[in-house]
A = this chain, B = another copy of it.
């Protein structure tokens, strides 16, 4: 459970930045090298590499080096952590709505008596 929470913390934190979300969106299309990824951003390479490290530490991307080129690819399973958490919230919410509906139905029956 502690591991689950720590994973969720790092995934949510990694996505709390527009540059990192843009990298995820780009890698959702196909793997890319660091220089391809960095291209559209007006940012010094060391700053960009920090964003890449944050995404990699959160498990959202994997990187591998071939010769002098480091290639990044997305790990989509990691995004499903957030989808599962949202599903859980929806179930809690729907449970609440079901209870509210049955309360209103019962109240209605009482009034009809």
The chain A residues found within 8 Å of chain B, CB to CB, are 5, 8-10, 12-13, 15-18, 21, 24-25, 28-30, 76, 79, 82-83, 85-86, 88-89, 92-93, 95-96
Which residues in B have their C-beta under 8 angstroms from that of A24? 89
Which residues in B have their C-beta under 8 angstroms from that of A28? 89, 92-93, 96
- In the assembled complex, the Cα of A89 lies from the Cα of B89 at a distance in Å of 20
Q: Do B79 and A29 touch (CB < 8 A)?
A: no
Which residues in B have their C-beta under 8 angstroms from that of A18? 5, 8-9
Known contacts A24-B89, A89-B79, A96 near B13 by CB under 8 Å:
no
- In the assembled complex, the Cα of A93 lies from the Cα of B28 at a distance in Å of 5
Which residues in B have their C-beta under 8 angstroms from that of A82? 82, 86
Q: Do A95 and B13 touch (CB < 8 A)?
A: no
Q: Do A29 and B85 touch (CB < 8 A)?
A: no
Q: Do B25 and A16 touch (CB < 8 A)?
A: no
Known contacts A5-B18, A79-B86, A82-B82, A92 near B13 by CB under 8 Å:
no
- In the assembled complex, the Cα of A15 lies from the Cα of B15 at a distance in Å of 10
- In the assembled complex, the Cα of A55 lies from the Cα of B6 at a distance in Å of 19
